[in-house]
Amino acid sequence: MKYQKLAEFYEQASSTTKRLEKTEFLSKFLKELSERDVMYLLEGSIYPEYDERRIGISNQLAIKAISKSTGVEGKKVIHEWKKIGDLGKVAQKLIENKKQSTLFAKSILTTQKVLENLRKLPELEGKGTVGKKLSLITELLSSASPVEALYLVRTLIGDLRIGIQESTIRESLAKTFFKDKEDSSRKVQEAIDKANDLAIVFDACKKRSFKELEKISLEVGKPIKAMLAQKVLTIADGFKALGKPCAVEYKYDGFRLIIHKQGEEIKLFTRSLENVTKQFPEVVEYIKKYVLAKSCILDSEAVGFHKKTKEYQPFQSISQRIRRKYDIEKLQKELPVEINVFDIIYYNGKSKLEEPFEKRSKLLRKIIKNHPYKIIASKQIITGDGKRAKEFYKKALKDNQEGVMMKNLKAPYKPGRRVGNMLKIKPEERDLDLVITGAEYGKGKRSGWLSSFILSCKGKKPGEYLEIGKVGTGIKEKEEQGISFGELTKKLTPLIIKEKGKSVTIKPKIIVSVTYQEIQRSPNYNSGWALRFPRFTALRPDKPLSEIADLKEVERDFSRQKRNWQYG
């Protein structure tokens, strides 16, 4: 397929914010699509979502490639970038100028060629890597039309901006190949949940058979997305939503770990599908020794504890273990973790996704040999008694955990979705996970550091992030005391996409947890809301952007807060 045709679809999709129109455009595109791997390009990627290989091109390398392919000095490219704020549009503009001033003879770019070059990028290592990467990118840009250059560069830096989400792709596949038959959308989603690979699902859909979709199954070793919970304020709210009885479990203050076991081969994945097996060698041993299964996929939470007192520690105390790839032995001694298993979604060759939670929970408690401070089945009661549930909740807080989860006993497991059959309850201290989208350089002692950080939630449009406040408290000046201004500045500097005086605009990537006193209406931020007295509590490298708070959650929290004022 000509890459121009894909670029034209990108333009169509970008021209509307209406999901139905995007679905219609994508449905027409899919009818003529024959190359399965183009499905990855629709999401701005080159591999399935579970694949760890990433294009990994920095803004700086993209600038060099634009400069080399257009003959425009690097300083001019940077100047245009600061003015426009979108490197893709910079490439589009400069290639348009080049086209007007020269004959600009070029070969026709194909999606196959784009994938071929982009897939070589993650494989390059060692001496001369930057030059080789620059050559591969420049080859594509030198053959690109202005609109092709726009989307090539956006794909390279991971910022496609066309508003196509998995749900849009699901609806388009159902519409295109099953003419919106009853249950077609659900069946396509189930296939996506199990495969986590749009190309495989596309192939099955092309055969226009539900049986082909049903053939797609979970694979041990291939990560899938974790099921997510919704928030409620009280135990009573939980029973009202779920009915009685239901399961009440500890909500652990750790990070999600999806465990895959196939014989002696163990793989560990975070909720953002990152393979962290090497970072947790002791956990691999726990699975081998204490999980009685030939093959399984377990959903769990890794919780840190003090090596001497055995007291459970907050997430922030062990978060560095997720990304560290050196000093592993030292870290596992200094920052030990306990694995708390709370669900099983595959066992000895069979998927358990559709089985009720009650049955899944009984199974995992049969196959896990509890060894406290190594691996245990999650602490759980099954009850319809509000008083007993509240006592259990207080015990969870006393054990330094976040609160409790309440779960519908009859519910299936729904990967990647925030479902109403699993609810979380935490103390009244309000908190949100948000992304940093801007910052200001500090003065005095904080000179040279970014010290005031703009926080954003997800907007109503795909890829939209709306400002909701600034945070500067809870961050330390010295690194040994916790997350510091210096550390945050180091992480954020490569993500700066625009500068104006002391203020910078930052590419949404770094997710943080914050607490706040209350939410107020505000004309100062484009969300229409502001957090009062926000305080930084943790970096969340384990969470993907898709899981930060959205505008609906902010509005819902404001409504609950208002009710509490009236009736509390």
| HEC readout, 210-274 | HHHHHHCCCCCCCCCCCCEEEECCCHHHHHHHHCCCEEEEEECCCEEEEEEEECCEEEEECCCCC
Share of the chain above pLDDT 90, in %: 69
Residue 568 CA to chain centroid, in angstroms?
36
Higher pLDDT, 125 or 136: 136
CA distance 135 to 131: 6
CA distance 14 to 539: 32
CA distance 220 to 259: 9
At 481 the pLDDT is 60
Higher pLDDT, 523 or 447: 523
The string of pLDDT tens digits covering residues 146-200 is 999 999 999 999 888 898 988 999 999 999 999 877 789 999 999 999 999 999 9
What are the sequence ranges of the domains in the chain?
3-156, 166-215, 228-425, 430-567
DSSP track, 332-386 = HHHS-EEEEEEEEEEETTEE-TTS-HHHHHHHHHHHB--BTTTEEEPPEEEE--H
Residue 539, C-beta contacts closer than 8 angstroms, at least 6 positions apart:
316, 319, 483, 510, 511, 512, 513
For residue 164, the one-letter residue type is I
Catalytic: 106?
Answer: no
Residue located via tokens 């910078």: 504
Residue 388 CA to chain centroid, in angstroms?
35
At 502 the pLDDT is 84
B/e letters for 84-112, b = 16+ CB within 10 Å, e = fewer, are eebbbbbbbbbbbebeeeeeeeeeebbbe
The string of pLDDT tens digits covering residues 201-210 is 999 999 999 9
Task: Collapse the DSSP code of 504 into the 3-class scheme (helix H, G, I; strand E, B; otherwise coil) and give the result.
Answer: strand
Q: What is the dihedral of CA 146, 151, 155, 159, to 10 degrees?
A: 120
Residue 10, C-beta contacts closer than 8 angstroms, at least 6 positions apart:
151, 160, 162
At 412 the pLDDT is 96
Tokens of 138: 């420049």
Q: Is the pLDDT of residue 281 over 70?
A: yes
Which has the minimum average pLDDT: 277-286, 422-431, 458-467? 422-431
Do 258 and 269 meet the contact criterion of CB atoms below 8 Å apart? yes
Residue located via tokens 């040999």: 369
Tokens of 404: 């409790």
CA distance 568 to 563: 7
Residue 78, H or E segment: helix 74-84
At 566 the pLDDT is 38
At 99 the pLDDT is 67
CA distance 358 to 412: 9
Mean pLDDT comparison of 46-55, 374-383, 425-434, 445-454, highest-scoring range: 374-383
CA distance 247 to 364: 14
At 567 the pLDDT is 34
What average pLDDT does this structure show over 1-27? 94
Mean pLDDT of the chain: 91
For residue 432, the one-letter residue type is L
The string of pLDDT tens digits covering residues 304-363 is 999 999 999 888 788 888 878 788 888 889 999 999 999 999 999 999 999 999 999 999
Q: What is the CA radius of gyration of the chain?
A: 25
CA distance 284 to 305: 18
Assign 398 a pLDDT band (cuts: 50, 70, 90).
Answer: very high
Residue 499, H or E segment: strand 496-500
Q: Is the pLDDT of residue 565 over 50?
A: no
**Nearest Cα to Cα of residue 68 among 129, 141, 127:** 141
What average pLDDT does this structure show over 382-393? 96
Residue 21, H or E segment: helix 19-31
Q: Are strands 337-347 and 375-377 parallel, antiparallel or unpaired?
A: parallel
Do 279 and 320 meet the contact criterion of CB atoms below 8 Å apart? no
DSSP track, 428-462 = SSEEEEEEEEEEEEB-GGGBTSEEEEEEEEE-SST
At 563 the pLDDT is 52
Higher pLDDT, 43 or 291: 291
At 443 the pLDDT is 77
Residue located via tokens 């609806």: 171
The string of pLDDT tens digits covering residues 471-481 is 998 898 876 56
Crossing angle for the helix pair 198-206 and 166-178, to the nearest 10 degrees = 10
**Nearest Cα to Cα of residue 169 among 200, 194, 190, 198:** 198
Residue 303, H or E segment: strand 295-304
At 100 the pLDDT is 66
The string of pLDDT tens digits covering residues 14-24 is 999 898 999 99
At 97 the pLDDT is 86
At 568 the pLDDT is 34
**Nearest Cα to Cα of residue 118 among 62, 69, 199, 188:** 62
End-to-end CA distance of the chain: 62
Task: Collapse the DSSP code of 411 into the 3-class scheme (helix H, G, I; strand E, B; otherwise coil) and give the result.
Answer: coil
Q: Which of 222, 251, 267, 543 is catalytic?
A: 251
Do 290 and 375 meet the contact criterion of CB atoms below 8 Å apart? yes
Tokens of 145: 């039309």
CA distance 6 to 29: 9
Degrees (nearest 5) of the Cα angle 391, 565, 515?
65
The string of pLDDT tens digits covering residues 439-474 is 998 877 787 889 899 999 999 887 899 999 999 988
Look at the domain 228-425 and name its fold. Answer: D-amino Acid Aminotransferase; Chain A, domain 1 (3.30.470)
Q: How many residues does the chain have?
A: 568
Q: Are strands 228-231 and 418-425 parallel, antiparallel or unpaired?
A: parallel
What average pLDDT does this structure show over 288-303? 97
Q: What's the predicted TM-score (pTM) here?
A: 0.81
Class of the CATH-defined domain 430-567:
mainly beta
Tokens of 487: 């550390």
Question: Does the domain at residues 3-156 carry the CATH identifier 1.10.3260.10?
Answer: yes
